[in-house]
Protein backbone atom coordinates (compact mmCIF):
# COMPACT_ATOMS: atom_id res chain seq x y z
CA UNK A 1 0.00 0.00 0.00
CA UNK A 2 2.89 2.37 0.73
CA UNK A 3 4.20 1.97 -2.83
CA UNK A 4 0.75 2.35 -4.40
CA UNK A 5 -0.07 5.42 -2.29
CA UNK A 6 3.37 6.95 -2.83
CA UNK A 7 4.18 7.23 0.87
CA UNK A 8 2.98 6.32 4.32
CA UNK A 9 0.49 9.16 4.84
CA UNK A 10 -2.43 6.79 4.14
CA UNK A 11 -1.75 5.21 7.53
CA UNK A 12 -3.19 8.28 9.27
CA UNK A 13 -6.54 8.05 7.49
CA UNK A 14 -9.35 6.92 9.83
CA UNK A 15 -9.91 3.45 8.27
CA UNK A 16 -6.21 2.60 8.57
CA UNK A 17 -6.08 3.86 12.15
CA UNK A 18 -9.17 1.79 12.97
CA UNK A 19 -7.60 -1.31 11.39
CA UNK A 20 -4.49 -0.72 13.50
CA UNK A 21 -6.66 -0.80 16.65
CA UNK A 22 -6.58 2.94 17.35
CA UNK A 23 -9.61 4.85 18.65
CA UNK A 24 -11.49 7.21 16.36
CA UNK A 25 -13.45 10.35 17.16
CA UNK A 26 -17.22 10.33 16.56
CA UNK A 27 -16.74 12.56 13.51
CA UNK A 28 -14.18 10.18 12.04
CA UNK A 29 -16.51 7.22 12.55
CA UNK A 30 -19.38 9.03 10.78
CA UNK A 31 -17.27 9.74 7.71
CA UNK A 32 -15.02 6.69 7.80
CA UNK A 33 -14.66 6.11 4.06
CA UNK A 34 -14.69 9.72 2.87
CA UNK A 35 -10.97 10.41 3.51
CA UNK A 36 -9.98 7.38 1.43
CA UNK A 37 -12.18 8.41 -1.47
CA UNK A 38 -11.05 12.05 -1.37
CA UNK A 39 -7.36 11.23 -1.16
CA UNK A 40 -7.62 8.56 -3.86
CA UNK A 41 -9.31 11.07 -6.18
CA UNK A 42 -6.53 13.58 -5.46
CA UNK A 43 -3.90 10.96 -6.28
CA UNK A 44 -5.63 10.06 -9.54
CA UNK A 45 -5.83 13.74 -10.53
CA UNK A 46 -2.12 14.00 -9.80
CA UNK A 47 -1.34 11.36 -12.43
CA UNK A 48 -3.50 12.97 -15.09
CA UNK A 49 -7.03 11.70 -14.50
CA UNK A 50 -8.63 15.14 -14.31
CA UNK A 51 -12.13 14.07 -15.47
CA UNK A 52 -13.63 12.45 -12.37
CA UNK A 53 -16.96 11.59 -10.85
CA UNK A 54 -18.39 9.19 -8.33
CA UNK A 55 -21.57 7.21 -8.01
CA UNK A 56 -23.91 8.38 -5.32
CA UNK A 57 -24.46 7.00 -2.77
CA UNK A 58 -21.87 4.50 -1.55
CA UNK A 59 -23.12 0.98 -2.26
CA UNK A 60 -24.31 -0.85 0.86
CA UNK A 61 -25.18 -4.46 1.62
CA UNK A 62 -28.43 -5.80 3.13
CA UNK A 63 -27.18 -4.90 6.62
CA UNK A 64 -26.60 -1.29 5.47
CA UNK A 65 -22.82 -1.66 5.79
CA UNK A 66 -20.84 0.32 3.21
CA UNK A 67 -19.37 -2.00 0.59
CA UNK A 68 -17.72 0.18 -2.06
CA UNK A 69 -17.71 3.53 -3.81
CA UNK A 70 -18.15 3.59 -7.55
CA UNK A 71 -15.59 6.02 -9.00
CA UNK A 72 -14.95 7.11 -12.58
CA UNK A 73 -11.66 8.44 -13.93
CA UNK A 74 -10.72 9.56 -17.43
CA UNK A 75 -7.97 11.58 -19.05
CA UNK A 76 -10.51 13.17 -21.37
CA UNK A 77 -13.73 15.03 -20.61
CA UNK A 78 -15.59 13.04 -23.31
CA UNK A 79 -15.36 9.98 -21.07
CA UNK A 80 -16.93 11.96 -18.25
CA UNK A 81 -19.84 13.00 -20.49
CA UNK A 82 -20.47 9.36 -21.43
CA UNK A 83 -20.28 8.32 -17.76
CA UNK A 84 -22.75 10.96 -16.63
CA UNK A 85 -25.25 9.92 -19.32
CA UNK A 86 -24.93 6.30 -18.26
CA UNK A 87 -25.59 7.29 -14.63
CA UNK A 88 -28.96 8.69 -15.70
CA UNK A 89 -30.16 5.16 -16.56
CA UNK A 90 -31.90 3.44 -13.66
CA UNK A 91 -30.92 -0.16 -12.77
CA UNK A 92 -34.25 -1.25 -14.33
CA UNK A 93 -33.18 0.29 -17.64
CA UNK A 94 -35.58 3.23 -17.29
CA UNK A 95 -34.12 6.40 -18.75
CA UNK A 96 -34.80 9.91 -17.48
CA UNK A 97 -36.29 12.52 -19.76
CA UNK A 98 -33.82 15.08 -21.16
CA UNK A 99 -33.38 18.04 -18.82
CA UNK A 100 -34.79 16.14 -15.83
Confidence of residue 100 (pLDDT cuts 50, 70, 90): low
What's the rounded mean pLDDT across residues 20-24? 87
| 57 in a structural domain | yes
| 90 in a structural domain | yes
| Average pLDDT of every residue of the chain | 85
- Whether the model clears a pTM of 0.75, i.e. scores above it, the answer is no
Range of the domain at 76: 49-100
Q: How many percent of the chain have pLDDT more than 70?
A: 93
pLDDT given at position 58: 72
| 17 in a structural domain | no
| 69 in a structural domain | yes
| 71 in a structural domain | yes
Distances (CA, A) of 84 to 21, 55, 59, 65, 96: 39, 9, 17, 26, 12
Residue that wins the pLDDT comparison between 16 and 29: 16
| 42 in a structural domain | no
Q: Is 14 exposed, middle or buried (0-12, 13-18, 19+ CB in 10 A)?
A: buried
Confidence of residue 5 (pLDDT cuts 50, 70, 90): confident
pLDDT given at position 1: 87
pLDDT at 30 over 70: no
| 32 in a structural domain | no
- Domain count for the chain, please give it: 1
Which among 69, 12, 73 is positioned nearest to 47, based on CA atoms? 73
Amino acid sequence: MDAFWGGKDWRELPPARLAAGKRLSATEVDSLARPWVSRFREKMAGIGFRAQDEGDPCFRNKKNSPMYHLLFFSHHSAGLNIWRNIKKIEPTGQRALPGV
